[in-house]
Each structure stands twice: as structure tokens, then as C-alpha cells.
Structure 1
Amino acid sequence: MINRIGQVMLYVNDQEQAIRFWTEKVGFVVKSEQDNGQGLRWIEIAPTEASETSFVLHNKPLIAQMQPELNLGTPSILLFTEDIDREYQAFKEKGVKVGELVDMPEGRVFNFADAEDNYFAILEKK
């Protein structure tokens, strides 16, 4: 029986740029990094070191070459925060491309784009 989500694979064109974006602009930490010495690099990032669910940043061009049948599109991901106003302001101050802060039936939310123009959303959950 499956009991939790472990990792979400994010396929990016520039792993270094993705690491900088997620750590410097979003505030995630690098939990682990592995390299097989043949170009296959695996970088696990998460909101905190203790987070159970994490993202793994993969080299999109390399994976596309190794497994062309894979869907390498960016999944729709909704992140949670307890203080949406603080997050929204912090993202804007750090130069992150953000959408409008809007009220939805489930709470206040805004979307943002990473350096490769992949969009994600943040919802206030108290």
C-alpha cells in the first residue's frame, strides 16, 4: 500500500540555475546530490531538511536522450504557506515573476515562474 509521496521529478535544462532559483529565491535546501560520473546528476531539494516530500532536479536534455518516451513536462505543483502575504512580498523583492494574489474558494493563492518559465502555485493554509 502506498502511504506517502516521496519525490517529484523536475526536469530542467540548467541544473545549476535551478538550484540557485529554488535555494536563493524560494528558500529550499539541497538535501542530497549525487553524480554517477557520466553526466547523470541527481539533486534533491525540499523546503526543509526534514521535509518528507522533495523535488529531484534532473538534466532534461540528458534524460530526453536516454529515455525519449518520457513526458518531461513540468507537473502542476501547489505549495503551501501559512503567511501568503509574506511569501508574495518576498518573491517580488527577490525578482521572481509572480502572478496576482487572488482569493479562491480554498484560500488565497498566487503563481510564480522559475528561471525556465515553469509555473507553480502557493496557497495559504493555516
Structure 2
Amino acid sequence: MINKIGQIMLYVNNQDASKEFWTEKLGFEVVAEESNGHMKWIEVAPKGAATSIVLHNKELVAKMNPGMNLGTPSLMYFTDNFDALYGDLKNKSIKVGDVVELPSGRVFNFADNEDNYFAVMEKK
């Protein structure tokens, strides 16, 4: 049986720029960086996280699997320090949306360097 989510595939136009965004702007770590011929993948994650994001070259994947959905997954991140994270992302000139109050808590979205949007929810 499945007992956890291991990796999430994120198909990007520029893997190196995306790696820089996730590591330098969001503080993720590079878990692995591997290549097989012209195919390269970069795995990044928050320190100690059970789930990672694997950055794949969108163009190469599209050539290998023409019918594959290469859209951005809808990811919701959790944080214990919502206000500090929101302020930090804004200070780093990352596109962030307004804070929205939901019955389950406060949430906002942000965009990476390729305008892929993700959400963050306050988790206490």
C-alpha cells in the first residue's frame, strides 16, 4: 500500500534557474542532481522533508512523452511562521498574492521564476 508521497515532478523551462529559485529564495536544499545522457533532473526539498520536488526539463519530457500533462501541480505548503514567510517572500521580490482567511486557516499564493503558482497555509 502507498504510505507517503515521495516526489512531485515539476516540469520547467530552465532547470538551473528553477533550482536557484527554490534553493536561494525559498531555502530548499538540493537532495540530488543527476543526469543520464542529455536528460537531467534536480531534486530539491525543505530540510528534513519526506517529500521532494524534482525539476525536469519540460521540453525534453514533451519530446519523450508527447501526450503527457506537463502542467504545474497544485501544491499547498504548510508553515508554522506564516507572517514571517509572507514578509520574507515579499522582501525577496517574489510574486505573492493577498492573504485570504479560510475556515481552515490563512492562506496565500506565490509564483516561482516561471510564473508557476503555489499556495501556503498557516499550520499551527
Say whether the fold is shared (TM-score over 0.5): yes
Matching residue within 100, 113, 116 for 1:115 = 113
Aligned-residue offset at 1:46: 0.3
Residue ranges of structure 1 left out of the alignment (5+ in a row): none
Q: Which residue of 2 aligns with 1:10?
A: 10
1:113 Cα shift? 0.4
Superimposed CA distance per residue, residues 42-94 of structure 1 (whole angstroms, 9 cap, x where no aligned partner): 1110011x211000000000000111111000010000000110000000000
SS in 2 for 1:73: coil
Q: What are the superposed Cα offsets for residues 14-56 of structure 1, whole Å, 9 maximum, x if unpaired?
A: 00110011011111110111011x21111110011x2110000
- TM-score for the superposition, normalised by structure 2: 0.98
Give the match's secondary structure for 1:71.
coil
RMSD of Structure 2 on Structure 1 (CA) = 0.7
Structure 1 residue 108: Cα displacement:
0.7
Tell me the percent identity.
Answer: 58
TM-score normalised to the size of structure 1?
A: 0.96
Pick the aligned partner of 2:84 from 71, 81, 86: 86
Residue equivalent to 2:71: 73
Per the alignment, residue 104 of structure 2 pairs with: 106
Tell me, in whole angstroms, the C-alpha distance in 2 between the residues paired with 1:44 and 1:100: 29
Q: How far 1:101 sits from its partner (Å)? A: 1.2
4+ residue runs of structure 1 moved beyond 4 angstroms? none
